[in-house]
Structure 1
Amino acid sequence: MSNVFEGYERRYCELSDNLSKKCTAAVALNGEQKKQKVSEIKAGIDEAEALIRKMDLEARSLQPNIKAVLLAKLREYKSDLNNLTSKVKKIVSGNLNPSDRDELLESGMTDTLTASADQRARLMMSTERLNKSSDRIKDSRRTMLETEDLGVSILQDLHSQRQSLLHAHNTLHGVDDNVGKSKKILTNMSRRMSRNKWIIGGIIAVLVLAVALILYFKLRK
């Protein structure tokens, strides 16, 4: 449905309702008051005709399936406008017999009741749309809150994981320090063992040399 067409349609329905009420009121008037009321009605009919032309142009610019529906509605509005024009002609002619007068008054009352029913129907539809919109807003708000709670939970989990990673990093850093210290101790021990090995080797060499010298001197005597 075209929003432009709906705007014209709403304005036409309001104008048609107003013109029907003015026709009913004009039946009971005389003299200048009646002329003034008829003048107002004719101006309203001109405006209604302009709205129908606009609706017709808008409907013909739409897709065929939508166009057919809107043109059908437009035919009803044109028929309604023709009835209003006929009423005005009868009121202007001033030759209303009692039956015509009663018919106009009865028609005016019927139109008023119909307009009121239409207004109630439109009001109910608007209220229903508002309720649906309100429900959608509530659903969206509930979804947003659930998403926010989920986001907070994820952030808390990430924070907990970050703390675990930091703790693991600190533990690994401590292990690295201990490994470094152990490496230094092993290096020092290895150096000491090497040094002790050379010392023991030197002592053994001195002892062997001393034994050799002792044997040499004994054998020489």
Structure 2
Amino acid sequence: MRLRRHITAVVAAALAAAALGAVGIAPAQADVGDDYPVGIAFTADTTTVISKTGQPVTFGTTTLSTRTDLTNVVGTLALPQATAALKLGPATLATFTISIVDPTKVTGTITQGGTAEAPTLDLKVAQSFRIRLDKVAPLGIGSLGSSDLTLVPAGGNCSTTTTTANLTGSIDATALFQQNTADAHVKGTYTIPPFQGDCGLFAPIINGLIAGPNNTLDVHLTKPVFDFGATSRASALQAIAAR
């Protein structure tokens, strides 16, 4: 109860600051589609590492937009297309470009952790998606002036079945609600199913190098932007304090 009271107090401070128009309080993305009382949009920098090759794939900066009652959380995270090297040991064979398609909402729970003096919001969330292989360009093709050439047939029909990433992480509650700052990593693993469909003759090689379990996913969350709603500040605090 002491921890709950402390987090309620820091949320109350944030709500009061919002009422006064403090810097950093602004509407979060509106497409989350949930009625939880507190909205927080984070800047999200996401990296995945392919287990078989140890190769990192870095996605462009985007936004994780969430709503929460500090017990449950729901959000949206749409990752941009990314390109990385396709390696076999130390040798780079090609570059490949992937897209994350049909992502579900990010859903999960929040457990209040840490201590009363240093409380944390401990997240356990999941998101499902498919991975589409858009392009595979053998090494050196770009230097020959043929960068548009790809070993994957055009049409966007080479993709995996749906997979799910399960992620966990902790956010400093005091920094989040009193200082409007965040520096948290939400991490986990997922399986890359085999690519199927019109993937070309090199599909067995691509699947041999990419598809498989234990791939890591790391979402770095910073720069929170709050949305308590013009008419829901009191109800937000009431809902949180009542739990």
Shorter-chain TM-score tier: under 0.3
| Structure (1/2) with the larger helix percentage | 1
TM-score using structure 1 length: 0.17
- Larger strand proportion, structure 1 or 2? 2
TM-score, normalised to structure 2, is 0.16
